[in-house]
Amino acid sequence: ISLSLSLSLLSVSLSLFCKKEQKPSLSTQRAGTTTNSMRVLFLLATLLVGASAFGVTSSSSFHGASMATVAERPTTSRTADYGRADMCMMRHRKKVAKLGKPADQRKALLRALTTEVIRHGRIKTTFVRAKAVRKYVDKMIQLGKRGDLHARRQAMGWIYDKQLVHSLFDAAPDRYGERNGGYCRVLRTMPRKGDNAKMAFIELV
């Protein structure tokens, strides 16, 4: 209703404002100025009514999103963490070495390094990878010292070579029977040519 009323008032005001005026006589000069001012005021009132009908002006001082827009936004748990995810948090007390890889690739790398250390007894890799794989080599040797079926299945689930697992379980009790931990050592060596990465040897004791 307000939209149709505003449109009708706007058309009437425009017709009045744009109407050709006749040459005023001396007696109607004073009334002509009053008529022009009334036309201007009527036109401004019509524009205000039309603007309010179209929703341009609002009595509220809130200029944010409407409730319909807010209701359409997804309310997931990840949306609430966007602010914290953008911050650069320091990894205090995070002992897991990421090695610049996602979880699946990092696990595959550590399994391969563990297999090669047990197979060859001494390999050369980066210093960070050597420190990361050291605990897994110690764990496999500890499982070999236990020697039961469950320990053998756990070792087969980590080491890629099954025959190497059987060889480890045969030799670990005799070689490390009197040692409680510390089955391998990390020795630093010269940096790698090219990217100057820190290198190290990891070997069995």
Residues 6 or more apart in contact with residue 164 via CB below 8 angstroms: 115, 118, 119
Q: Which pair of tokens denotes residue 147?
A: 């020697």
Strands 184-188 and 199-204: antiparallel
**Digit-coded pLDDT (tens) for 116-166:** 999 999 999 999 999 999 999 999 999 999 999 999 999 999 999 999 999
**Digit-coded pLDDT (tens) for 58-79:** 444 444 444 444 445 554 444 4
Q: Look at the alpha carbons of 128, 133, 138, 141 in this order and tell me if their dihedral is positive or negative.
A: negative
Is 144 exposed, middle or buried (CB count within 10 Å of its CB: 0-12, 13-18, 19+)? buried
Query: What angle, rounded to 10 degrees, do the helices at 103-120 and 127-146 form?
Result: 70
pLDDT reported for residue 88: 74
Q: Does residue 83 carry a pLDDT above 70?
A: no
Q: In what order do the strands lie in the sheet with 199-204?
A: 122-126, 199-204, 184-188
pLDDT reported for residue 10: 61
pLDDT reported for residue 61: 45
**Digit-coded pLDDT (tens) for 12-31:** 656 655 554 455 554 555 55
Extended beta strands in 112-175, E state = 122-126
pLDDT reported for residue 93: 86
Q: Which pair of tokens denotes residue 63?
A: 């200029």
Q: How far apart are CA 134 and CA 138, in angstroms?
A: 6
Q: How far apart are CA 64 and CA 96, in angstroms?
A: 44
